[in-house]
Amino acid sequence: MGSTPASLVLFGVAVGAYCVALLFFVLHVALRRRWLGDVGLGLVVAGWPLHLASIFTRALEAGHWPLGNMYEYSTGISFVVVTVCLVLMIRARMRLIGLPAMIVAIALMGVAYMLYVPPGQLVPALHSYWLTIHVTAMATSSAVLSFSFFFGMGYLARRWADQRMLAVATAPAAAGVDSGGAATLTMGGGAGGGLGGASSAFADRLRRILPSARALDLWSYRFVMIGFPIWSFGVICGAIWGEHAWGRYWGWDPKETFAFITWVVFAIYLHARVTYGWKEKRAAIITAFGFAAILFTLYAVNLWIAGLHSYARA
pLDDT tens digits, 99-136:
999 999 999 999 999 999 888 787 776 777 888 899 99
Domain final residue, candidates 64, 98, 122: 122
Are 8 and 72 spatial neighbours (Cβ–Cβ below 8 Å)? no
Are 149 and 287 spatial neighbours (Cβ–Cβ below 8 Å)? yes
Co-location of 129 and 261 in the same domain: yes
pLDDT tens digits, 80-107:
999 999 999 999 889 899 999 999 999 9
Co-location of 110 and 228 in the same domain: no
Co-location of 141 and 272 in the same domain: yes
Global pTM value: 0.87
| DSSP letters spanning 140-165 | HHHHHHHHHHHHHHHHHHHHHHHHHH
Co-location of 53 and 169 in the same domain: no
Co-location of 152 and 57 in the same domain: no
**Which structural domain range is residue 28 located in?**
1-122
Q: Span 251-264, mean pLDDT?
A: 88
Question: For the chain, how many structural domains are there in total?
Answer: 3
Co-location of 236 and 142 in the same domain: yes
What b/e string do you get for 245-255 counting C-beta neighbours within 10 Å, with b at 16 or more?
Answer: eeeeeeeebbb
Neighbours of 227 (CB within 10 A): 23
Co-location of 66 and 105 in the same domain: yes
Co-location of 294 and 232 in the same domain: yes
| Highest mean pLDDT, choosing among 130-139, 193-202, 245-254, 305-314 | 130-139
Q: Which of 172-181, 216-225, 285-294 has the lowest mean pLDDT?
A: 172-181
Residue 195 has pLDDT above 70, yes or no: no
In percent, the amount of the chain with pLDDT more than 70 equals 87
From the list 234, 36, 24, 18, the residue with the least C-alpha distance to 137 is 234
Co-location of 90 and 16 in the same domain: yes
Residues listed for the chain: 314
Are 54 and 16 spatial neighbours (Cβ–Cβ below 8 Å)? no
Q: Which pLDDT belongs to residue 309? A: 56
Domain final residue, candidates 98, 122, 146: 122
Co-location of 311 and 248 in the same domain: yes
Q: Span 4-21, mean pLDDT?
A: 95
Co-location of 105 and 36 in the same domain: yes
Co-location of 219 and 198 in the same domain: no
Q: Which pLDDT belongs to residue 184? A: 37
